[in-house]
Every structure is written in structure tokens, then in C-alpha cells.
Amino acid sequence: MEFRQIIYFLEIAESGTFQKAANRLGLTQPALSKQIFLLERELGVTVLERGGRSVRLTHEGERFYQYSIRMKELWEEIQIGFSKENELKGNFSISAGGTVSAWILPQILKEILKKRTELSLSVREGDAKETKEAVLKGEVDLGILTGPITEPSLNVLEFLSDRIFPVASKDHPIFLKKKIKIEDLKKQSLVFFHPGSALRKAVEKKIKSFSKEFGPNIAMEMRSVESVIKSLEAGLGIGFLSEYSISPKLKKIKFEEWNAERKFYICYRKKSGPGLVLLAEEILKSAEKWRLETELSFT
């Protein structure tokens, strides 16, 4: 079967006669009839019932017509997606957690918007649950979530890896210890993110795997990354932050058992248009470039 035969069949079905379809397609009627004959022979069914000057679809032809419409639409989508002249433009919305929204996305999107002058992006901050629901409900086009993610209605692409470290203000008493032990950490007040935070869940999972009997002394629970940073800088306890958001006034605590890792994923609804697919690909490319530049600055 050739794709042109699909187009020929659709034209005949819409025109109602072989002659009209042939004229529109720039073919002779015998040439068009031959292609439909070859199509029907390959399918093993008759799709068009000839009668007088007009034709109509058989029962099998009605079924094949629906398939043909879908194949034509898919082909048009492929052409748009791979067209060299296709440009990423339009308005898109993104939802992500605090760390990504404040320290990662701004730099990435800044570079994208420099190149894509007809592109408009909006970002809203939300925890993992809020972001996932916003994507599923269609309130935002694209979400960035901490994995693993098992949601059959979403396309999921790996975005970035993130390392989480225990930190405190540089003048915190914990740094007076020559060697920090678990007993020293148990005595400290902790500045945590709120329970719905993906970062907190990653930290709690890591701590429980290391010390199941340890019940953290939570002094503060904050919703924003900025609030956690300010509280830590003020010396109100120790906390956990992404390596991307550790400020100059804070210092990593050398206790590797409490180091944690997580991965971010870009998610968007299946059956999304080619523009959203292009945006996701563009963000991934820019994120990889940004990651390499950031790692060099850390060394």
C-alpha cells in the first residue's frame, strides 16, 4: 500500500465521482481507477461501490475511510514536526517546584527566549502534587516533576539530576566539630520543607534508610525555597537544599550518609501538538548546556 493511494481514496470519497477526483488530483480516470483497484486487491475488500456516474463507500469502505483520515492527519503532523521551516512559537505554560522555578528554569528559558522571539512562556510554582494535577487537568502545558513517574496519560522525559546536601550557616556550631557524627545531628533543630515537598520526601527516605530510629527535631516547616534559605542563614537550624540553591552564606555539612539524589522529569499530556513537543526538546537541549556550564563553575 502506498500513501498516495490513501489520498486518492479520500479524494474520491469526498468528490463522489472518479472523474471529479481525477481532475482535482491531475490524473486520468483510468490511472486513478487502477490505483484504487491495486488498493482494494491489497486490502482484500471492496471499499468503493461503483454505480452510474457516482460512487459510494461500502461497509468496509466506511471503516477504511476512518483509518485513512487518521493516517492523513498523522502524516500532516509528521510534516509539521519535521519541517525545516517550522518555528517554535506561541504561548505555553509551565509548572515546577521551588528549586526548579527559582534556580534552574530562569537561566534556561532566558536562553530559549533570546532565540525564539515569537515564543511566550509563563511559569507557575507548585509542589509535586499541584504540578501533576495541573498538567493532567490541562491547566498548564508542561510540568517538571521529581520521579519516578507512572502516569499512562503523560509523556515523560528525563530533565536533570539533582544532589541534595545537609547545610547550615557558616557560623553554625556544628562546624566546630572535627568529625560530625549522627549523635551530633540528632541534637540539632531542623528547617524542613513542607510535607508535600518532593525534596523533603527524598530527604526523609534517605534518613530513614540510614537511621530508622531517628525522629527529626523539626523546628520549622516552610513552603518556599527562599524561606528555608533565609531561616538557615539566620542560624535557626540545619536543613537540606539542592546543590543549585545553596547560597554563599551557607556551607555543606560533611555527612555523606545524609546526601540524597533525585531526578527531575519533563511531563506533558499525550496527543499534544507538535509545538509542545518542540518546546520540550528545546528545554532539554538548553538544560544540558546549562548543566555542563554549572558543573564547570562548581569545580
Residue 83 confidence class, pLDDT cut points 50, 70, 90: low
- Which among 17, 49, 82 is the end of a domain? 82
Report the share of the chain in percent with pLDDT over 70: 93
- Which among 20, 52, 82 is the end of a domain? 82
Question: Could you tell me which residues come within 8 angstroms of residue 90 by beta carbon, excluding any fewer than 6 positions away?
Answer: 118, 119, 120, 275
Residue 238 confidence class, pLDDT cut points 50, 70, 90: very high
CATH number at residue 62: 1.10.10.10
Length of the chain equals 299
224 burial via Cβ count (<10 Å: 0-12, 13-18, 19+): middle
Provide the number of structural domains found in the chain. 3
Helices (H) and strands (E) counted in the chain, each on its own, are 11, 11
* Claim to verify: residue 155 and residue 268 sit in the same structural domain: yes
Task: Give the predicted TM-score (pTM) of the model.
Answer: 0.65
At 86 the pLDDT is 56
In this prediction, residues 94-117 reach a mean pLDDT of: 91
Residue 257 confidence class, pLDDT cut points 50, 70, 90: confident
Q: Which helix (H) or strand (E) holds 92?
A: strand 90-96
Encode pLDDT of 158-182 as tens digits.
Answer: 999 999 999 999 999 999 998 998 8
76 burial via Cβ count (<10 Å: 0-12, 13-18, 19+): exposed
Residue 27: Cβ within 10 Å count: 17
* Claim to verify: residue 113 and residue 184 sit in the same structural domain: no
Select, from the ranges 78-82, 163-167, 197-201, the one with the highest average predicted confidence (pLDDT). 163-167
* Claim to verify: residue 22 and residue 8 sit in the same structural domain: yes
Give the domain range for residue 229.
Answer: 162-262
For cell 499525550, name the residue: 270
At 235 the pLDDT is 94
pLDDT at 84 over 60: no
At 170 the pLDDT is 96
Cis upstream peptide for 148 (omega within 30°): yes
How far apart, in whole angstroms, are the C-alpha atoms of residue 131 and residue 145? 7
pLDDT at 67 over 70: yes
- Dihedral of CA atoms 85, 91, 97, 103 in degrees, nearest 10, equals 70
Return the C-alpha cell found at 60: 468496509
